Amino acid sequence: MKKILIANRGEIVERIIRTCSRLNIETVAVYSSADKDLPYVRQATKAYEIGDPPAAKSYLNQEVILKIAQEENVDAIHPGYGFLSENASFVRKVEEHGIAFIGPSADVVESMGDKITARKTMIEAGVPVVPGSSEIEDVTAAISYANEIGYPVMLKAAAGGGGIGMQRCENDEQLQKAFASSQNRAKAYFGNGAMFVEKFIDQARHIEVQIVGDKQGNIVHLYERDCSIQRRNQKVLEETPSPFISSETRTRIGESAKAAAEHVSYTNAGTVEFVMDQNENFYFLEMNTRLQVEHPITEETIGVDLVEWQLLVAEGRSIPMKQEDIMPTGHSIEFRLYAEDPSTFMPSPGKIETLHFPEMKNVRIDSGYESGSTVSPFYDPMIAKIIVNGSTRDEAIKTGQAFFERFSLTGIKQNSPLFAKLLAEEKFQQGNYSTAYLSENLTVKK
């Protein structure tokens, strides 16, 4: 490959450009009018403004993006995460234009994008799934099924992601109230109002496994990430290896993820997500057919560049490592730095006056902003990813504590005080937490 277009914005574009620059690959970036002053626009070989700030008028405008790709004669399009990354229609259009899509096939994207279809497929693959329904059209059917499997349950959007259209329900009344609003959100965000009901796993861990497949039929897993620190069903902190699971479970969950990928003939990078109970029983949640936000912690512990692997696979080349050669070392934790109130988790868009990342050993910064940048209200408010590493988990935690003591950002609210408090919590230091941890244990004074 000589030139690729990156159909995304901010941090992930900078991340992809970094690998492409090292490999002497030219990059074409796109940006909305709200993002014209962000660093990635300057870092790309070329950059094009593609529309107004709303995503539907810019980053989701398939025709404009494809037109630029053709005019620039790019070899491939990298979708990053979010936006068009899991849009099967876009994948097909890219390939129809004779351009490689840096991701899995349209058929895989389509089948795994619908959570109900994905559940059925995983059952066929022999992968354990959470007890749940097929598509449910109305609230009466939802209540009937919930009573059949027992409360609490999770009401979910079949085409959902990022916690959108998802709600925990404790009884008929809550499910009755939640159904219409969740369905309307799903229609608005995904153009699909299909819903389903799933058994809620109490005190659950969210464990995911990175997988990569090539066009020669080789598939490997790169071990797990623990993504259980969440707010509003959205990840805030991820770490690897998980401080919770045993070596036996680590082996089993990796093998299950690999089996899931093999069953659908998966190519390129992806992630198989599981929910795990307190007895280390795990169940399939979904397959993300793209590069994950939290991929850097896998890179840090395995010692690979996953974007480079994505490019190799898209070129038709083989994965450069065999399963037996993949062995993680050390510990890595990723903090998602958001422009949000650390006590309410409400977004806090605005202009960043100063942004200072202290230069430290064993710290990696993947940032999309700089001093003077404006965090727009139109997109996800993530400012940067802070990745800290250590030979042990304790070392990584201490590095994180030292980092946040020296980190500074002025002009808008941001959630670094949450991380400073979290790292000092005994339960977190012991690895004793679930997806309910933030809501049940942690508050940050304004």
Distance CA 384, CA 391 (A): 23
Judge whether 232 counts as a catalytic residue: no
pLDDT of 169 reads: 96
Domain 131-199, CATH: 3.30.1490.20
CA distance 368 to 375: 10
- What would the pLDDT profile of 166-221 be if each residue is shown by its tens digit? 899 999 999 999 999 999 988 888 888 889 999 999 899 999 999 999 999 999 99
Low pLDDT (below 70) residues in the chain: 162, 443-446
> Contact at 8 Å (CB) between 213 and 163?
no
Provide the mean pLDDT of the chain: 95
Please give the pLDDT value at position 417: 96
Helices (H), 270-375: 295-302, 306-314
CA distance 259 to 125: 7
- The pLDDT value recorded for residue 188 is 81
CATH number of 205-441: 3.30.470.20
Span 3-102 CATH architecture = 3-Layer(aba) Sandwich (3.40)
Task: Identify the pLDDT of residue 395.
Answer: 98
Domain boundaries, the chain: 3-102, 131-199, 205-441
**What does the pLDDT read at residue 162?**
67
Nearest to 295 by CA among 228, 236, 242, 222: 222
Single out the catalytic residue among 225, 290, 336, 393: 290
Degrees, nearest 5: CA angle 369-370-373: 75
User: Which residue do the tokens 């259980």 mark?
Assistant: 228
* Beta bridge partners of residue 271, listed in sequence order: 210, 288
